[in-house]
Amino acid sequence: MDKTRTLGIVALGAAAATALAGCAGGADDADGTELTVWLTTQEPNQREAVDALVAAYEEKADVTITVEERSVDQHKDAMRQIAGTDSGPDVYWYWEGSGLGGELVDVGMSLDLTDYYAQYGWEDRFTPASLAGITQYGGFHGVPWTLQGEGIYYNKELFAQAGVEDVPATYDELVDAADALVDAGITPIEFGGTVNWDVMRLLDSLVETECGAQTADELNTGDGDWGAEPCVTDAFTELAAWGDAYLNDGFMGISNDDAAQLFFSGQAAMSLEGTWYNAQVVDNGLDPEDVGIFPFPTGTDRLYGFGEAYYVNAATDHPDEAAAFLDFLTSEEGQEIAGSNWGALSVNKDVPVDESNPLNAVWADVFAASDAGMYTNNDQNFSTAETTEYWRIQNSVLTGDLDPADAGAEFQAYRDANG
Amino acid sequence: MATVTLVTQGRTRRRTPPNHRLSRALPYLVPTLVLYGWFLVYPMLDAVRLSFFEWSGFRTDDPRWVGIDNYVRLFTQDAVFWTALRNSVVWVVLSLVIPTGIALLLALGLNRRMVGRNLMRAVFYIPAVFASITVAAMWRWIYNPTLGFVNQALAGVGLGDWAQSWLGDPRFALASIFVASIWQGVGFSMVLFLAGLQTVPAELMDAAKVDGASTWQRFRAVTVPALRPTTVVVVILTIINALKVFDLVVGMTGGGPAQSTQVLALWSYTQSFANHQFGMGGAVATVLLIVTLALVIPYMAWSMREEER
């Protein structure tokens, strides 16, 4: 055997030995459990908090956590693609609404956590409002992560300039305030129409206002007939009126981010936003003391909002470890690390309000005053296809291409044909 | 095996029969054909197959055979489909007339000797290099109703009353997007026409001049026929690009307001990936495929016949 050939055989043997050693090392490393968690793409401050939460938990438990982030649409697509396979995550973040998280519950992707709720005493940990989204499908699907309230942020100085002294407590008072702002040459409220869901918040709130809680629930989440309820026409009529008189010029042609600049720069007096807006108000240079918040005065005492949760994949091989991780995330220790990066209030009822932003305390009062529960954004209530049609009809009314009197019937016709 | 032997200028060359040539080429073609078939032909056929099913996109949810129901719904119940089809057809027609015409004029102009000719060519071509989504973001700002260049410029010259919500008003939105597409697309067609103009025989042009032909007569009788192969390419690419316009619409309006700027390619995507109605999405894609073939194949056949004359 010549020298070169000998060296080659030795090198091959060494490579094979290295590969085998690598395999053995992998097996040793696999003693600890690996959990994969799928999220939507996080803001930098949220990403830092995620890293801190993972690091704190990995120190406590013999578990390696791998976090994967995707954009909103990619996250939804990825969940569809892994349904029924074993290639999905152990834990996934999702919205609780029936058209989103509920869809995954329906196809069996969410593990019913009833036993873990008993084991960890989670029923006593979370606020009743945040648990409502978890128990709505029967059993316990998911662990609450945020409960987002939505209401009207207003510029106190612009209200004062327009002579609006009292915070509107009824819908008529809200319209009066908007009229006063128009008279003072101030844009009453800003919306960005290109994203559809921004203006949808106004329509959802008008449906709640005009129809009342029970009928609104039947329409949004039940078998209510959009074509048969006169209140639906009233809601779309009011929507058209707001579009004509009170919204920023050209709102249909700009995004929510562009529209928000009108509020941040003092060119619009109100903005219909959620608890996540507290941080944005500060980040965009507004003194939170100059900003007030009040719920959209629907007259039903229900707060507009939605919940987000962490779910355990029904296909996971590690349900116990996944539940233990979620227990840490929502514990007092975990919630202190999370801070108010995802919402103004913690879903854990024992965690005090983060006072670093004074608007968080305002939300605490708003939540406390909303005894009648919540009504949810319709893009979470409806299937995604229904949502697309809802937005088309909403925008057609706003552009004047559809008579408000025909809007409800048109939406109902779509639901009947595609139900 | 029968072969034909040619003798050319003292050298002997064998002409291989066509079937033998194919068998020799096949090993080189197979990898490409497999990739092409798997990644292009199969998905296309599968989209057509899917159009006869109802499917949410969940792997756990088995597609359900519904026959032609998706097509019936598309043609009779889908409030957006006809808008999307009309917009796509309008986009094709406008694309064949306006940017193609501008590109030809630019090419004719920039084919002449002039100072700064290459710089001008580059300036007109540069927008074609940008990603469509970047162009969309740029033009969205240009059209911004309060801060955008268009309305600011109109106000600056005393035409503030003409200011519009260019992307927020269904009357203007599609045309506004189309203007952006002209800005982006005209340079590419211009370069193709410029390349075609280099093939116009100089001796023919000189002969026409000697015969006293006017500029228009030289253009019609010499330039246009010489540009026919280039024109075929430009027209086919324009039709295909117009039918699959997607990025600009997504980036500028998302199909809104109220679906007024929706086009077939985007509606197919929306039905599948936003509405999670993959059967309906497949049906729209199939219609788009049929429309594309219905426009391109007859034109190609006509142009090939013209070529053979």
pLDDT one digit per residue (tens) for chain A, 419 residues: 444 444 444 444 444 443 333 333 333 344 578 999 999 998 888 899 999 999 999 999 989 999 999 988 789 888 888 888 888 999 999 999 988 899 899 989 999 999 999 999 999 999 888 998 999 999 999 999 999 999 999 999 999 999 999 999 999 999 999 999 999 999 999 999 988 999 999 999 999 999 999 999 999 988 899 999 999 999 999 999 999 999 999 899 888 989 999 999 999 999 999 998 998 899 899 999 999 999 999 999 999 999 999 999 999 999 999 999 999 999 999 999 998 888 889 999 999 998 888 999 999 999 988 878 899 999 999 988 999 999 999 999 999 999 999 999 999 999 998 87
B274 closest CB neighbour out of A193, A253, A384: A384
- Mention every residue, 6+ apart, whose C-beta is less than 8 A from residue B27: none
d(CA A42, CA A342): 10
d(CA A141, CA A143): 7
**Residue A149 forms beta bridges with which residues?**
A305
- What is the three-state SS of A149-184? EEEEEEEHHHHHHCCCCCCCCCHHHHHHHHHHHHHC
Rounded to 5 degrees, φ, ψ at A269 are -85, -25
Contact A276, A146 (CB under 8 A): no
Buried/exposed code over A303-338 (b: 16+ C-beta within 10 A; e: otherwise): bbbbbbbbbbbbbbebbebbbbbbbbbbbeebbebb
d(CA B63, CA A220): 27
Q: Closest Cα of chain B to A412: distance in Å?
A: 13
pTM for the whole structure: 0.84
d(CA A141, CA A134): 5
Q: How far lies A296's CA from each of A63, A150, A206, A358, B153, in Å?
A: 45, 8, 9, 20, 38
- What is the three-state SS of B44-86? HHHHHHHCCEECCCCCCCCCEECCCHHHHHHHHCCCCHHHHHH
User: How much is the ipTM here?
Assistant: 0.82
Q: What pLDDT sits at residue B94?
A: 96
Q: Which of B55, B56, B272, B280 would best serve as a mutation to test chain A binding (most A beta carbons within 10 A)?
A: B56
Residue boundaries of the structural domains of chain B: 79-266
Q: What pLDDT sits at residue B284?
A: 97
| Pure H helices in A265-343 | 277-283, 319-329, 332-338
Q: How far apart are the first and last CA of chain B?
A: 37
d(CA B163, CA B78): 33
Give tens-digit pLDDT for A52-110: 999 999 999 989 999 999 988 789 888 888 888 888 999 999 999 988 899 899 989 99
Contact B144 A73 (CB under 8 A): no
Residue with tokens 């029970």: A214
Give chain A positions within 8 Å (CB) of B57: 77, 80
**Residue A166 forms beta bridges with which residues?**
none
Domains annotated for chain A, with CATH where assigned, are: 3-148+305-369 (3.40.190.10), 150-304+377-418 (3.40.190.10)
Token readout for A388 is: 């697309």
Task: Detail the DSSP E strand segments found in A340-416.
Answer: 374-375
Torsion of CA A43, A48, A50, A56, to 10 degrees: -170
Enter the DSSP assignment of A110.
B
The sign of the CA dihedral A341, A343, A346, A352 is positive
Give tens-digit pLDDT for B70-113: 999 999 999 899 999 999 999 999 999 999 999 999 999 999 88
Q: Which of A194, A255, A414, A416 would best serve as a mutation to test chain B binding (most B beta carbons within 10 A)?
A: A194
Q: Which residues of chain B have pLDDT under 70?
A: 1-16, 18
| Pure H helices in B160-277 | 173-197, 202-210, 215-218, 224-226, 228-243, 247-252, 264-269
Token readout for A142 is: 């998911």
Contact A380, A305 (CB under 8 A): no
Give chain A positions within 8 Å (CB) of B59: 80-85
Amino acid at A47: R
Contact B145 A250 (CB under 8 A): yes
d(CA A113, CA A325): 13
Give chain B positions within 8 Å (CB) of A81: 59
Give chain A positions within 8 Å (CB) of B155: none
Tell me yes or no: is domain B79-266 CATH 1.10.3720.10: yes
Q: Closest Cα of chain B to A175: distance in Å?
A: 24
Assess A56–B contact: CB distance below 8 Å, yes or no: no
Burial class (CB in 10 A: 0-12, 13-18, 19+), B173: buried
- What is the three-state SS of A84-106? CCCCCCCEEEEECCCCCHHHHHH
A193 closest CB neighbour out of B144, B146, B168: B168
